[in-house]
């Protein structure tokens, strides 16, 4: 049997706050639109042009994630394409393609400078990090004292 791949990776900004609903069986489904922008230079005019593409993203069983998926936030989405069809109010068949997210990382955006932590494959709440100490300027080339002696080395 031939192998196939259905994998999508997107980095973009949320077009509106994510909405979470529940199926009759109680399973949560969170949806949001994601904007990705392609930039290129027009050959004839020499001007830079932008083209924004909107993608509908669906996340299953992650109801707490919607609290962090707000309009303008930048996110990394990894998932698969899924096309569904339904009949509109006039009885015409309509097809829609969504990205079913398997991993989401919150990257920040629009004034959000707090780093985000990844947890169990899905993004989690922002968590502040302690600032890293800066190395002190040294006038000699010796390594800093780390409290390690020759007796600590196993070989």
| Contact criterion met (CB below 8 Å) for 40 and 20 | no
Q: Is residue 59 part of a domain?
A: yes
Please report, for the domain that includes residue 25, its CATH number: 2.40.50.140
Which of the 8 DSSP states describes residue 115? -
> Which residues does residue 60 pair with via DSSP β-bridges, in sequence order?
29
The answer as to whether 53 is a domain residue is yes
In whole angstroms, how far apart are CA 11 and each of 64, 72, 98, 141?
Answer: 21, 12, 15, 43
- Does residue 138 sit within a domain? no
The count of residues in the chain is 155
Q: Is residue 135 part of a domain?
A: no
Domain that holds residue 100: 8-127
Determine, yes or no, domain membership for 143. Answer: no
Q: How many domains does the chain have?
A: 1
Give CA–CA dist 69/53, Å, rounded.
19
pLDDT of residue 129: 35
Tens of pLDDT, residues 87-143: 999 999 999 999 999 999 999 655 554 444 433 344 443 333 333 444 444 444 444
Q: Which helix (H) or strand (E) holds 86?
A: strand 74-87
State residue 58's pLDDT score.
96
> Is 54 part of any domain?
yes
* Residue 155 pLDDT > 80: no
Q: Are residues 124 and 62 in contact, defined by beta-carbon separation less than 8 angstroms?
A: no
How do residues 30-77 score in pLDDT, each as one tens digit? 999 999 999 999 999 999 999 999 999 999 998 888 889 999 999 999
Strands 93-108 and 48-60: parallel
Query: Is residue 11 pLDDT above 60, yes or no?
Result: yes
Residue 1 has pLDDT above 90, yes or no: no
The pLDDT value given to residue 136? 45
- Asked if residue 31 belongs to a domain, the reply is yes
pTM: 0.65
What is the structure's pLDDT at 132?
Answer: 41
Is 142 part of a structural domain of the chain?
A: no
């Amino acid at each position: 049997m031939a192998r196939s791949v259905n994998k999508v990776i997107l980095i973009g900004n949320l077009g509106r706050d994510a909405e979470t609903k529940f199926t009759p069986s109680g399973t949560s489904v969170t949806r949001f639109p994601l904007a990705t922008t392609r930039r290129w230079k027009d050959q004839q005019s020499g001007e830079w042009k932008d083209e924004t593409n909107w993608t509908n993203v669906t996340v299953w069983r992650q109801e707490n994630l919607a609290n962090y998926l707000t309009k303008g936030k930048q996110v990394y989405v990894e998932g698969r394409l899924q096309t569904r069809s339904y009949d509109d109010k006039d009885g015409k068949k309509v097809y829609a393609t969504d990205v079913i997210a398997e991993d989401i990382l919150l990257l920040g955006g629009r004034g959000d400078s707090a780093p985000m932590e990844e947890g169990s494959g899905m993004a989690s709440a922002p968590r502040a990090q302690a600032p890293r100490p800066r190395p002190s300027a040294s006038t000699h080339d010796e390594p800093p004292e780390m409290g390690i002696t020759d007796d600590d080395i196993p070989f």
